[in-house]
Amino acid sequence: MERTQFFSQQAGRTIDVPRHAKARFGIGDVVRHRLFDFRGVIFDIDPVFANSEEWYQSIPEHIRPEREQPYYHLLAENDESSYVAYVSQQNLLGDADGGPVEHPQVSDLFEEFSEGRYMMRRSLTH
């Protein structure tokens, strides 16, 4: 299998990635966690796990997801708070019908919520 590499600031190391990693969701999509009661909007995507080993090991083994799948950075919310989450593809479901996300940083990254997704601010795209 053909592979490539990128340096992950979050992990502090170089990550080896299959060349043909496929993300099911895109930036601006609203998603819900499959196991836990929170939802959010995707603002970044890693083609495979690219966080610290300590973070990965902190996930209980019986629910720990595989590393070789896309991981998504979310502006997340639940009934109590807003935060940033890092979630594997296998643990996300689409939630476009749930309406906009109320996270306080949404307006920093996105323009409007339309047709079930957010549009990235033009000044942040390249």
Q: To which residue do tokens 């476009």 refer?
A: 96
pLDDT of amino acid 22: 84
Q: What percent of the chain has pLDDT over 90?
A: 70
Tokens at 32, concatenated: 């819900």
Pseudo-torsion of CA 106, 107, 109, 115, nearest 10°? 70
pLDDT confidence tier of residue 126, bands split at 50, 70 and 90: low
Fold classified for 3-124: SH3 type barrels. (2.30.30)
Give the length of the chain.
Answer: 126
Question: How many other C-beta atoms are found inside a 10 Å radius of the C-beta of residue 32?
Answer: 18
Which tens digits make up the pLDDT trace of 71-116? 999 999 999 999 999 999 999 999 978 899 999 999 999 998 998 8
Question: 3-state DSSP call for residue 28?
Answer: coil
User: 28 versus 125: which is more confidently predicted?
Assistant: 28
Domain spans of the chain?
3-124
Give the pLDDT confidence of 11-52 residue by residue, as tens digits. Answer: 566 666 566 668 899 999 999 999 999 999 999 999 889 999
pLDDT for the residue numbered 123: 79
Question: Is the confidence at residue 125, as pLDDT, over 70?
Answer: no
Which residue would you say has higher pLDDT here, 85 or 6?
85
